[in-house]
């Protein structure tokens, strides 16, 4: 029994033409187009080829277990995208790699903040170590509060000096008062930028001495009080 090379239907071996489709038979024989054969061949071709191996998947998981986050993450993603075997190990490597990367970022950020807090900004004096040492933030607010209180004291002295301007006997004292008052105003600005504990304490003592001197200049007899 022969088959037509075009339609695949059975025909007579001695026939010159296919009685079904009219195809002329030549001298060279061609394999019949048997139904279902082409579909089977196409299915066989479309089947996925074996993968290249499990190396990347294993590497991703091992690196993830070792805590080497970023390389484990990269290897796992590549293995999953290339559809290599060991999908479970690749997923485990991706998860462990992501966790390791996040943990490393948190540690680095915490360390940077800790170092910055201890050392302070560039150009500033480091604070003494120890549990009793004031923090830089505390010293900053203390200096601001002292500067505000000192400014109020200066304003009271300035009002008292204004009341004494009309007294000719106080002219010399008021001239000295104005000179010290100008220096005291500059000291108020300077103390706000001091972060060293010793320097801040010395500056406060200096400013208190100036305040007492101005107070004496406004009350030669000791009768003036700014309270």
Neighbours of 29 (CB within 10 A): 10
Greater confidence (121 vs 167) lies with 167
Where residue 110 falls among pLDDT bands split at 50, 70, 90? confident
Q: Tell me how far apart the terminal alpha carbons of the chain are, to the nearest angstrom.
A: 130
pLDDT digits (tens, 9 = 90+) for 4-18: 888 888 887 777 788
Please tell me the predicted confidence (pLDDT) of residue 125. 45
Domain residues of the chain, as ranges? 56-119, 136-218
């Amino acid at each position: 029994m022969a088959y037509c090379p075009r339609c695949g239907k059975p025909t007579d071996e001695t026939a010159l033409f296919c009685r079904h489709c009219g195809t002329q038979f030549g001298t060279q024989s061609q394999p019949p187009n048997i139904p279902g054969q082409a579909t089977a061949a196409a299915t066989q071709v479309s089947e996925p080829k074996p993968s290249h191996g499990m190396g990347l998947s294993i590497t991703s998981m091992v690196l993830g277990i070792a805590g080497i986050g970023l390389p484990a993450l990269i290897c796992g993603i590549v293995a999953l995208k290339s559809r290599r075997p060991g999908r479970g190990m690749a997923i485990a490597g991706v998860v462990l790699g992501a966790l390791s990367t996040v943990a490393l970022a948190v540690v680095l950020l915490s360390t940077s903040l800790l170092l910055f807090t201890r050392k302070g900004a560039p150009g500033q004096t480091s604070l003494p170590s120890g549990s009793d040492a004031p923090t830089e933030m505390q010293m900053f607010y203390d200096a601001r509060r002292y500067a505000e209180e000192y400014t109020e004291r200066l304003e009271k002295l300035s009002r008292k000096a204004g009341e004494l301007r009309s007294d000719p006997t106080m002219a010399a004292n008021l001239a000295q008062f104005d000179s010290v008052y100008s220096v005291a105003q500059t000291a108020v600005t300077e103390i706000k930028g001091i972060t060293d504990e010793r320097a801040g304490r010395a500056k406060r003592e200096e400013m208190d001495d100036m305040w007492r001197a101005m107070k004496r200049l406004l009350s030669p007899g000791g009768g003036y009080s700014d309270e």
